[in-house]
A = this chain, B = another copy of it.
Amino acid sequence: MNDETTTDTLDLTRRFAGFDRLDEPRVVIDEAVLEDNIAAMATLANDAGVELRPHAKTHKSIVIARLQKAYGATGFTVARPYEAKMLIEAGLGPVTIAYPLISPQTIATLLSLAKDGSDLRFIADSDETVTALADGARLAGRKVHVMLKVDVGLHRCGVDPAGDMGVRLATRVAGDPQLAFGGLLSHAGHAYGAGSPDGIRAVAAQELEMMTSLRRRIEGQGIEVPCVSIGSTPSIICHAGFDGVTEIRPGNYAFYDLTAVRLGLVSRNQLALGVAARIVAVNDRYAIANIGSKTLSSDLGAHGTSATTSYGEAWLPEMRAPLSVAKLSEEHAFLTYGDNRPPIGTPVLILPNHSCPVANLSGGLLLLEKDGKGSREMRVEGFVGNFR
């Protein structure tokens, strides 16, 4: 963790080398920072004695997933069926689809892609989702690995850990010969709204308590709970220990973003993803950069949080403070420049509020290599799309 998180300066002499040579706007990745971030999380998982199964929704890149695996990831997590398909087809299973699927046909199609029953893990949080998984298992003639999704405070999906539903669904899954009970899974996404490392740590402590309590109640029914899996980058960085946890599923940590800086998790020089653009017009009020909401997204934070009214920071070479991205059209960023009117043509490196949708919108990430001389494409074609 960094003490100067809100006042630190992005050092463009050491970061995103070569971004200013691009003719057209691109979403760029600093290779050295990416590797540092991936290595640091792998060390954290190793020290904690937990498996690391990163959420691939952040990068949607086979190249980055392979890098995470090289650093010790033992599997991956996704939200969408087509994301699972891409990873399975690249041989990067086991994949956990941490999302309630309700189409038996989708479940069966996914199972037919997996090499065996342990290659895919699904979640359930209602009778309807358990039924869909059982129907999908029968359609595919495969046994299905089911984890129970637990709502630890985001109030999105998941069973109430204090209610009866969790034990009842675990019992139902454990008793169905088509299904295998895989354990508990949570995502403390509300940590993004907790504001500070201490606030996040309190969320993480509550999560641990809820998961432990539910695990014991399920074990009390004679049901083995082989895995307790927790997610969210902030609640893992600002953790409250890993007692009873067997697996972590952070996603955002590969890149981080200004939301992570605002939460006090990292400094700006630990951000691996930026958007390389140029000033193409300057009027009395705004400098206009050639990138808008169709690349930066309109996100002010994660999960609809908004600790800011700015859409990002635009860093110019040799400036100590960024211009604020005050407004976005689809392909234009409105930068407030105060007394520092930049010339047309000036390259800018924009740090976004939320890196996950930016990677998703990029149409292909550009890796700026460590030696500062080269760059290469990272996205595997087809990783953004629809499941068929």
What residues of chain A have their CB less than 8 Å away from a CB belonging to chain B? 23-24, 26, 57, 79-81, 99-103, 105-106, 125-126, 128-129, 151, 155-158, 160, 189, 278, 280-286, 288, 290, 293-294, 297-300, 302-304, 327-332, 334, 343-345, 356-357, 360-364, 384-387
Contacts and interface: CB of A to CB of B under 8 A. Distances in A.
B151 A283 contact: yes
Nearest to A132: B345
Given A283-B151, A344-B102, A386 B361 contact: no
30 contacts: A23-B103, A24-B81, A24-B106, A24-B386, A24-B387, A26-B386, A80-B331, A99-B290, A100-B280, A102-B280, A102-B290, A102-B345, A126-B344, A129-B281, A155-B284, A156-B286, A156-B329, A156-B334, A157-B280, A294-B356, A294-B357, A297-B298, A298-B298, A298-B299, A298-B357, A303-B327, A330-B356, A330-B357, A330-B360, A360-B361
Contact of A23 (B106, B125, B334): B106
Given A360-B294, A386-B24, A155 B283 contact: yes
A contact face: mostly helix, strand, loop, or mixed: loop
Nearest to A300: B298
A336 to B, nearest CB: 12
A318 to B, nearest CB: 19
A327 B129 CA distance: 23
Contacts of A101: 280
A26 B387 CA distance: 9
A157 B293 contact: no
A343 to B, nearest CB: 8
Most chain B beta-carbon contacts within 10 A, residue among A330, A357, A384: A330
Contacts of A156: 281, 283, 286, 288, 329, 332, 334
A272 B280 CA distance: 34
Contacts of A286: 155-156
A297 to B, nearest CB: 6
A360 B357 CA distance: 12
Contacts of A125: 281
B331 A79 contact: yes
A212 B387 CA distance: 51
A241 to B, nearest CB: 26
Contacts of A126: 281-282, 344
A357 to B, nearest CB: 6
Contacts of A343: 128
Contact of A281 (B57, B157, B283, B362): B157
A284 B163 CA distance: 13
Contact of A57 (B302, B331, B356, B357): B331
A332 B129 CA distance: 16
A93 B300 CA distance: 38
Contacts of A128: 343-345
Given A156-B329, A281-B157, A385 B357 contact: no
B356 A385 contact: no
